[in-house]
């Protein structure tokens, strides 16, 4: 569940129960909803991993696969984020996918999919200009 008003959520909670990673995922979700009429998560065909967001047009055609990860410096974290994202992108016929991080930038190629790792501030500013 994603919150549209974090201030209201904090007022209704005696102790802030959220975390920075939850807040980042929430910001990405809200930003995707501004651009795409349909935003869902995706469970991989094996059912063992999920992709945070699949953004689709009004007809339901997927246009963007997105993971949100605070920090991808650990190899096991990168593998956990990249594998299902590449699988989902291939499944939906997408040549590109996105991982939004707190402050990392790089490009990863996996199974014919180009995965852009982009910091949240950069991604939000770029998307604002669309």
Judge whether 44 and 80 are in contact, CB under 8 Å. no
| Number of domains into which the chain is organized | 1
Q: What is the domain extent for residue 39? A: 20-128
- What's the pLDDT band for 47 if we cut at 50, 70, 90? confident
Residue 58 lies in a domain: yes
Largest Cα separation within the chain, whole Å, is 47
Residue 66 lies in a domain: yes
The model's pTM is 0.86
Residue 64 lies in a domain: yes
pLDDT tens across 9-43, in order?
A: 555 555 455 588 888 999 999 999 999 999 999 99
């Amino acid at each position: 569940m994603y919150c549209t008003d974090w201030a209201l959520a904090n007022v209704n909670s005696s102790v802030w129960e959220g975390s920075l990673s939850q807040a980042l995922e929430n910001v990405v979700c809200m930003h995707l909803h501004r651009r795409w009429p349909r935003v869902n998560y995706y469970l991989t065909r094996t059912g063992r991993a999920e992709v945070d967001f699949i953004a689709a047009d009004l007809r339901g055609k997927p246009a963007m696969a997105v993971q949100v990860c605070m920090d991808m410096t650990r190899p096991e974290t990168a593998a956990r984020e990249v594998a299902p994202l590449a699988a989902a992108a291939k499944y939906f016929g997408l040549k590109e996918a996105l991982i939004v991080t707190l402050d990392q930038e790089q490009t990863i190629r996996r199974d014919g999919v180009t995965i852009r790792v982009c910091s949240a501030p950069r991604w939000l500013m770029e998307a604002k200009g669309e």
